[in-house]
Amino acid sequence: MQALHNKKILLGISGGIASYKSAILARRLIDVGADVRVVMTQGAQAFIKPLTFQALTGNPVHTDLLDPAAEAAMGHIELARWADIILIAPASANLMARLSHGFADDLLTTLCIASDAPILLAPAMNRLMWSNEATKHNSETLISRGITLLGPDEGEQACGETGAGRMLEPEDIRDLVIKFANSKSITQLANPNSTKLSARAQDNPAANQPSAYADHHASLAGLHFVITAGPTVEPIDPVRYITNRSSGKMGFALAEAAVLQQARVTLIAGPVSLPTPNGATRIDVDTAKSMHAAALNAVHGADVFISVAAVADYRVDAISDEKIKKSDEAMTLTLVRNPDILASIAAMPQRPFCVGFAAETQHVEKYARGKLVKKKLDLIAANHVGQPDNPVFGSDSNSLDIYWPEEGHQHIASAPKKQVAAELLDIIAERLANR
């Protein structure tokens, strides 16, 4: 039997040069058994003609919201009810903005509002449009409502620039639609309000990037993750401070991986120079006390808390209002303990699933398991830092040993941090499912 046998796919096409790929996509979907109906925006028709899709699909192409002939039978409602999946490819920045704000001012957006079918978007736009804060916000809003983003890809763009924003190739989109359509967790993946973990399926559509995520498929759809990342800084005077070597890359990789698996992510970041993962909500802090306050506020109702940040254990007792002048004498600073963010959250009566990180230079398992027990954590990820072959801090790669109660252990071999993040999320998904 063909992979999309009897699946009814409403293919929406918005304006953009990538719409030429949609003709190939329509053919590829039909080749695997799908029944395809096409809806085009006015912008799309400026790039490619409806007749092309009518010839490819054998069905009339729908372009107008107020088509007198169709509306005699409430055509837009009938079409919305017909679809098993709504796939919009390309999804322009404008289309995503209108959808995120609930517009229903043309046929395509009206169908999305009027249908309970899952919606998949294949974004396509210039790299600067994709990285724009407005687009990031719109993407986050759409993901939070259960809409799945397929891509975008990176590479050369029609404008001559290179970067993220290319629409995935038609064959890649077809394959992801097949995985989505055959997923046992399709309802869960389309439901942003679900608080239960969906099945850890091999066909998670969030694994849509041609990258390290492709082989990791734990579904965390609808769950709220709060992740801390980066260092904290503890001021000594107006120009000096105490900090550590954390780059924030591991925490940001986890945030990006969780978003790709359709989780809602709040990322609490110390002072780092890293772009916000698309779809994550970012809160910037500086000191351990400000990170503590932000985390306590964010975790109410959250499902998972991952403490990746390298939080300073101590702060200066008395911060000088003026720059301390250099002298020939030794400087003495009195340090006091900072609040333990992870322990505070793990001790809450109604707390999320708590994951800690431990950076150790020796006796890694002993110290990591000690923290696991002392702080009453669900999981801890340990780094063996200071090793020539595993620098960790500032590096793009990492390796982890994961420990959980009842002597649980799993090793994640050295790999790019994005891949390590995906593997760690798989382990978290398994532990959540076994709670």
For the annotated catalytic residues, the residue numbers are 159
Cα 394 → chain centroid: 22
Give CA separation, 75 vs 42, 109, 111, in Å: 18, 14, 10
Distance between CA 224 and CA 316 in Å, rounded? 34
C-alpha–C-alpha distance, residues 183 and 383, integer Å: 35
Query: What does the DSSP 8-state code read for residue 351?
Result: -
Q: How far is CA 186 from the centre of its chain?
A: 18
Distance (Å, rounded) from C-alpha 247 to C-alpha 272? 6
**Distances from the Cα of 107 to the Cαs of 76, 140, 203, 282, in angstroms?**
7, 24, 31, 34
Residue whose tokens read 């974004």: 123
Q: Which residues pair with 282 in a beta bridge?
A: 267
Give the HSE-up count for residue 22: Cα atoms under 13 Å, Cβ half-sphere.
34
Tokens coding 416? 């790019």
DSSP β-bridge partners for residue 123? 91
Calculate the CA 305 to chain-centre distance. 15
CA atoms within 13 A on the CB side of 424: 34
Q: Dihedrals φ, ψ of 381, to 5°?
A: -110, 125
Q: H-type helices in 46-169, by residue range?
A: 50-57, 68-71, 75-82, 93-100, 107-114, 127-131, 133-144
What are the beta bridge partners of residue 281?
266
Token duo for residue 139: 């993407």
Paired tokens of 264: 């809602």
Beta strands 335-337 and 314-316 are antiparallel
